[in-house]
Structure 1
């Protein structure tokens, strides 16, 4: 599976999952209020205050930088855990 690390299709699927999950979290938080816990990925921030749209913009696939794509793929997986 290591050959899929940084693969464009895998990353786009993961990004879509993160957007869907964030929408579900926003829906729940709108009904019960924000849950204020430290972020697992960014422990200096509160998880409900992370700007997922900005993070998804920052961590994208790059054809010209395969190492960055691999790093971004790992970060997206970590964001999924963080959510």
Structure 2
């Protein structure tokens, strides 16, 4: 499955999944209040305080930059775990 790492369609799918997950998290927070636990990906921050819009801007597919796209793919997978 390593051949999928960094592909644009995979990254686009992960970005949509993260957006959906964040919407669900915010819906739950609106009913319960934020859950104050350290982020799995960024342990120095609370998971409820992560700026997902900023992170999605930073980690995206870049045509011709295979190493960066692979890195972005891994970071996005880690953010799914974090959510």
TM-score by length of 1: 0.98
Q: Distance in 1 between matches of 2:4 and 2:64?
A: 17
Matches within 5 A, 1:1-83: 1-83=1-83
Backbone CA RMSD of aligned residues = 0.5
Q: Deviations over 1:15-47 (max 9, x none)?
A: 000000000000000111000000000000000
Q: Report how many residues are paired.
A: 83
Q: Distance in 2 between matches of 1:16 and 1:2?
A: 21
Divergent runs of 4+, >6 A: none
TM-score by length of 2: 0.98
Q: Secondary structure at the match of 1:70?
A: helix
Residue ranges of structure 1 left out of the alignment (5+ in a row): none
